[in-house]
Amino acid sequence: MNEIFVKPAVGAIITKQTDNNEFILVQDRKKNSADGTDGLLEIPAGKIREYENIFDALRREVWEETGLHLTQIQGEENSHSLDIVGNQTISISPFCITQNLSGAYSLLLHTFLCTAEGALLEQTDETNNIRWMERNTLKKIVDNSPELIFPLHVQALRKYLNQI
């Protein structure tokens, strides 16, 4: 039997405050795949490379997709590393973990709350229309039209937008 395993991934809910308004970074998905997800609204996210530190993976994916540098990853300060007999491990507490149980590919997404700095890219090979969206505007989309959002990001966004 040929087993296929879930792929670990990271995602970032990146926020900023401007004039008493909260904004969340979003982008339009551009993967050129036949899975029907191109054009959906998404947060920066991507797969973790073998033996890559999860926080390094998050920084890399955010930089590749947006041009931003993460200044804070909530929970990173509480992570713990351990090296036992040549096996280095890290324990983490992401904001939300979401598993894709069916669809184009099997992912286990670890989403973190973040802040960032830098200038946004206009587009990349994987994203279009990278922009800051006002919190209430995004909440309306999440609440009323979740089908417009990449499925793995809906639950984390819903959790974040409903916590305050």
User: Where are the chain's structural domains?
Assistant: 7-162
Q: At a CB cut-off of 8 Å and minimum separation 6, what does 24 contact?
A: 13, 14, 15, 43, 132, 133, 135, 138, 157, 160
**Domain at 7-162: CATH code:** 3.90.79.10
How many residues in total does the chain contain? 164
pLDDT on residue 47: 97
pLDDT on residue 164: 59
DSSP state of 45: E
Percent of the chain with pLDDT over 90: 84
Strand partners, 88: 83
Stronger pLDDT, 33 or 13, i.e. the higher one: 13
What are 25-36's pLDDT values in tens digits? 999 998 777 677
- Give me the phi and psi of 80, to 5 degrees please: -130, 130
